[in-house]
Protein backbone atom coordinates (compact mmCIF):
# COMPACT_ATOMS: atom_id res chain seq x y z
CA UNK A 1 0.00 0.00 0.00
CA UNK A 2 1.55 3.27 -1.15
CA UNK A 3 1.10 6.09 1.39
CA UNK A 4 0.94 9.68 0.19
CA UNK A 5 2.53 12.52 2.09
CA UNK A 6 -0.27 15.02 1.56
CA UNK A 7 -2.80 16.74 3.73
CA UNK A 8 -6.19 16.27 2.14
CA UNK A 9 -9.03 13.82 2.72
CA UNK A 10 -7.69 10.59 1.20
CA UNK A 11 -8.78 7.25 2.58
CA UNK A 12 -7.15 3.90 2.09
CA UNK A 13 -9.32 0.79 1.91
CA UNK A 14 -9.35 -0.70 5.39
CA UNK A 15 -11.80 -1.63 8.11
CA UNK A 16 -13.19 1.49 9.75
CA UNK A 17 -11.31 4.09 7.71
CA UNK A 18 -13.61 6.69 9.26
CA UNK A 19 -13.06 5.52 12.83
CA UNK A 20 -15.35 3.65 15.21
CA UNK A 21 -18.74 4.57 13.75
CA UNK A 22 -20.50 2.41 16.35
CA UNK A 23 -20.52 5.46 18.60
CA UNK A 24 -23.09 7.08 16.27
CA UNK A 25 -25.81 4.60 17.34
CA UNK A 26 -29.04 5.45 19.13
CA UNK A 27 -30.75 2.09 18.55
CA UNK A 28 -28.88 -1.20 18.61
CA UNK A 29 -29.87 -4.26 16.56
CA UNK A 30 -30.26 -7.13 19.03
CA UNK A 31 -29.93 -10.58 17.46
CA UNK A 32 -31.75 -13.65 18.80
CA UNK A 33 -29.73 -16.54 17.37
CA UNK A 34 -32.45 -19.04 18.35
CA UNK A 35 -35.00 -17.32 16.11
CA UNK A 36 -32.57 -16.84 13.19
CA UNK A 37 -33.32 -19.08 10.16
CA UNK A 38 -30.02 -18.23 8.42
CA UNK A 39 -31.72 -16.65 5.39
CA UNK A 40 -28.91 -14.00 5.23
CA UNK A 41 -31.25 -11.17 4.18
CA UNK A 42 -29.66 -8.94 6.85
CA UNK A 43 -26.18 -9.81 5.58
CA UNK A 44 -27.23 -8.87 2.04
CA UNK A 45 -28.91 -5.60 2.99
CA UNK A 46 -26.59 -4.20 5.68
CA UNK A 47 -25.39 -0.96 4.03
CA UNK A 48 -22.19 -0.86 6.07
CA UNK A 49 -21.07 -4.47 5.72
CA UNK A 50 -20.87 -4.93 9.48
CA UNK A 51 -22.75 -8.24 9.44
CA UNK A 52 -20.46 -11.20 8.95
CA UNK A 53 -21.50 -14.65 7.80
CA UNK A 54 -20.00 -17.59 9.70
CA UNK A 55 -19.14 -20.99 8.24
CA UNK A 56 -22.20 -22.58 9.88
CA UNK A 57 -24.53 -20.00 8.32
CA UNK A 58 -25.06 -18.00 11.50
CA UNK A 59 -24.36 -14.27 11.52
CA UNK A 60 -22.62 -11.80 13.82
CA UNK A 61 -22.98 -8.04 14.04
CA UNK A 62 -19.88 -5.91 14.55
CA UNK A 63 -21.03 -3.30 17.06
CA UNK A 64 -17.80 -1.31 16.77
CA UNK A 65 -18.96 -0.08 13.38
CA UNK A 66 -22.77 -0.67 13.29
CA UNK A 67 -24.46 2.76 13.09
CA UNK A 68 -27.84 1.39 14.16
CA UNK A 69 -29.70 2.21 10.97
CA UNK A 70 -32.22 -0.60 11.48
CA UNK A 71 -32.23 -1.97 7.94
CA UNK A 72 -31.34 -5.49 9.18
CA UNK A 73 -34.26 -5.55 11.64
CA UNK A 74 -36.55 -4.29 8.91
CA UNK A 75 -35.65 -7.03 6.41
CA UNK A 76 -35.66 -9.89 8.98
CA UNK A 77 -38.80 -11.94 8.24
CA UNK A 78 -38.73 -13.84 11.55
CA UNK A 79 -38.08 -10.86 13.84
CA UNK A 80 -34.78 -12.36 14.99
CA UNK A 81 -33.37 -8.83 15.06
CA UNK A 82 -35.08 -6.08 17.04
CA UNK A 83 -33.92 -2.51 17.55
CA UNK A 84 -33.43 -1.51 21.17
CA UNK A 85 -32.59 1.94 22.47
CA UNK A 86 -29.07 1.80 23.86
CA UNK A 87 -28.38 2.70 27.44
CA UNK A 88 -26.61 6.04 27.93
CA UNK A 89 -22.85 5.80 28.44
User: What burial class does residue 70 get, using C-beta atoms within 10 Å of its C-beta: 0-12 exposed, 13-18 middle, 19+ buried?
Assistant: middle
Based on CB atoms, which residue is closest to another protein, 12 or 77? 12
Minimum distance, C-beta of residue 1 to another protein, in the bound complex (Å): 7
Q: Give the footprint of another protein on residues 2-21 (CB under 8 A).
A: 2, 4-13, 17-19
- Please say whether the beta carbons of 76 and 18 come within 8 A: no
Residue 76's CB is within 10 A of a number of other CB atoms, namely: 21
Q: Give the footprint of another protein on residues 16-45 (CB under 8 A).
A: 17-19
Site residues for another protein per CB under 8 A: 1-2, 4-13, 17-19
Amino acid sequence: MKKYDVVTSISYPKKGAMGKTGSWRVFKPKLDKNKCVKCLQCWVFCPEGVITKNKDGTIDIDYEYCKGCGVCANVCKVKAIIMEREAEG
